[in-house]
Amino acid sequence: MVYRITHFLIDIQPETFFHPTTTSTRGNCTRFLLPFCRTDVYKYSFFLSAIRLWNQHPSPGTTADSVEAFKRGLSAQP
């Protein structure tokens, strides 16, 4: 879902929920900031959980050209 949102394949503005980091020391080059959460409801919401998972993916998968290529990259991971 994050791939589709960030590549404008779904009518949700990515700037509303996803804020890119300015540094890429490790992991993929399209990492997003995790906002501060005061409540558990927001802490375990879809968007924060999705950001955590997205930031764990290696860069080749997150920069895929299509949804199919992204899925192939996911299935190729150990």
Q: What is the pLDDT along the chain (78 residues), one digit of tens a residue?
A: 888 888 888 888 888 888 887 766 666 677 888 888 888 888 888 888 888 888 887 766 677 888 888 888 777 665
Q: If you search the block for the tokens 């080749």, which residue do you land on? A: 60
Task: Please check whether residue 64 is in contact with residue 70, taking contact to mean a CB–CB distance below 8 angstroms.
Answer: yes
- Buried b / exposed e over 14-41, threshold 16 CB at 10 Å, is beebbeeeeeeeeebebbbeeeeeeeee
Write the DSSP symbol of residue 63. T
Write the DSSP symbol of residue 20. B
Q: Which residue ranges make up each domain of the chain?
A: 2-18+34-76
Q: What local confidence, expressed as pLDDT, does residue 43 receive? A: 83
